[in-house]
Amino acid sequence: MPKKPLVCVAMSGGVDSSVVPAMLKKRGYDVIGVTMQIWQESQKDPRHAGCCSLGAVEDARRVARMLDIPHYVINFKDTFRETVIDEFVDEYAKGRTPNPCVTCNKKVKFEALLKTMKELGCDKLATGHYARIRHDKATGRYRLLRAKGGQKDQSYVLYAMAQEQLSQVMFPLGELGDKAETRRMARESNLPVADKPDSQEICFVSDAGGYREFLKNKRPEMFSKGELVDTSGRTIGEHEGVAGFTVGQRRGLGVSSERPLYVIGIQPETNRVIVGSDDDLKQTQVVLQDVTWSSIEPGQAPIRVKAKIRYNMEAQPAMLYALPEPTLVFDQPVRAVTPGQIAVAYRGETVVAGGTIR
């Protein structure tokens, strides 16, 4: 029988990434566990700072010991700070709303961690993401697909994976029905993290003030007072800093109005926040940048897709244009198109392309 590849498993200390090495061992793979050390000085107590924190490292180490697999903790603090955190701060300074998990996947997990995998002599990298990868013999390309269950699908945050990366990565959980099945498998394997709750916060922001306090400590100039204006340019109030707002926001505007007002634009160059009605938030055209064509080569003609502009949104019918610039044109207006967020297009279960909303 051919020898199965040696697999490096990214172990964050949560239930998902702990079940993966257990699954692979049962299937006869040799497994090495790797945990990224990324916690930052901004975290007052790194033991409880989300995934990849000090406490998470301890959990990953316990699981590796129970499964009797080698386990390494690799220092990615500088890489994480220079890519994920610096971009996070820079994007808010530009009046945009970034998705740091997408940046982490793109620049840390599937760039830096793949390099580490090779240095350890492994053939494949496995993570606890819910998605699937298939090789299309007809085109010779690898395709990124939604998870089989659909409820926990994470293909949206993985859209930026290049062909070479897709060829080296495994997503064992993508074949499961849902998270409940993952927890059931964790209990059957007697893993100590079987009932550990999911981390919902931004992993490098652990202060009580949340991301706004984090940004204020990094770039206090982003929180200088400025004008709150309507769509005609009329000043109707004052804000406490452009970094405290995102497109679609209704609460915390500090002004009263006969009709509900929402943030529809942020202008850091003039230190202005523009507000308008719910109708002002709706548009059909979404221009993208830094696009990854996951499963196909971009063509001259537009293609029919279903796309979404935020993680928890139901994908909507649209046309995807590659030229003259990557653009999604939705059949029906979508609400709160937010610069800095991610748009991902699908054909059936397959990710066609994705990019940052410009």
What domains appear along the chain, each with residue ranges and CATH number?
A: 7-188 (3.40.50.620), 224-277 (2.30.30), 284-357 (2.40.30.10)
| Mean pLDDT, residues 165-172 | 97
> pLDDT value at position 105?
93
pLDDT value of residue 149:
78
Least trusted range by pLDDT, from 127-136, 248-257, 263-272: 248-257
Q: How many residues does the chain have?
A: 358
Q: Which of 51, 101, 104, 122 is catalytic?
A: 104
In this predicted structure, what is the pLDDT of residue 89?
Answer: 96
pLDDT of residue 50: 54
Mark whether 8 is an active-site residue. Answer: no
Give pTM, 2 decimals: 0.92
| Predicted confidence (pLDDT) per residue in 328-351, tens digit | 999 999 999 999 999 999 999 999
Does residue 354 carry a pLDDT above 50?
A: yes
Q: What is the pLDDT of residue 48?
A: 47
Mean pLDDT of 214-242: 95
- The one-letter code for the residue type at 113 is L
Higher pLDDT, 229 or 37: 229
- Answer yes or no: 122 catalytic: no
pLDDT for the residue 203: 81
